């Protein structure tokens, strides 16, 4: 059996092309799903409209190592969401791209949630800032 490079190369190229197209379609489908849920966030299993938070909770500005960030206080947002004993838990914030970070009450009490669905903390590194949040888990 001999190996014929000229005959297998087109099949290999076609396989790579099919994989690329499939991956592109998958990413597009995921982005469409994320864009549909852009105005809501799930907190402890319950979906909330973000505009409701901003209509009911006062705005606060904090100073971070990246400048001022304005939003609603995270502790008031969680209280509005009906979390009992908000200081008794740790919270995990999950972004639409799968990135997530967990923080303690000490940091929650100082952080803000912006109208872009992002969280910022004055005393934590940028790695704890989560952008485009879709879910908050109460641990």
pLDDT band for 32, please (50, 70, 90 cuts).
Answer: very low
Q: What is the pLDDT of residue 3?
A: 59
Percent of the chain whose predicted confidence (pLDDT) is above 70: 88
Lowest mean pLDDT among 10-24, 42-56, 72-86: 10-24
90: left (phi over 0), alpha (psi -120 to 50) or beta: beta
Residues 6 and 25 in one domain: yes
Q: What is the DSSP string of 58-124?
A: --EEEEEBTEEEEEEEHHHHHHHTT-SSGGG--EEEEETTS-EEEE-HHHHTT-EE-TTS-EE-TTS
User: Could you tell me the pTM of the whole model?
Assistant: 0.72
Q: Which CATH number goes with the domain that contains 68? A: 3.90.420.10
Q: What is the pLDDT of residue 35?
A: 46
Q: Is the pLDDT of residue 73 over 80?
A: yes
Residues 62 and 11 in one domain: no
Range of the domain at 19: 1-36
């Amino acid at each position: 059996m001999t190996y014929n490079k000229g005959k297998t190369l087109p099949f290999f190229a076609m396989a790579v092309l099919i994989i690329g197209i499939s991956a592109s379609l998958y990413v597009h489908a995921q982005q469409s799903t994320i864009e549909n849920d852009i105005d809501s966030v799930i907190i402890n299993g319950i979906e909330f409209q973000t505009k409701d938070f901003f209509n009911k909770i006062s705005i606060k500005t904090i100073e971070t190592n990246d400048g001022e960030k304005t939003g609603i206080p995270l502790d008031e947002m969680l209280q509005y969401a009906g979390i009992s004993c908000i200081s008794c838990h740790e919270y995990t914030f999950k972004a639409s791209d799968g990135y997530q970070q967990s923080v303690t009450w000490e940091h929650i009490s100082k952080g803000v949630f912006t109208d872009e669905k992002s969280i910022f903390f004055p005393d934590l590194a940028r790695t704890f800032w989560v952008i485009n949040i879709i879910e908050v888990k109460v641990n």
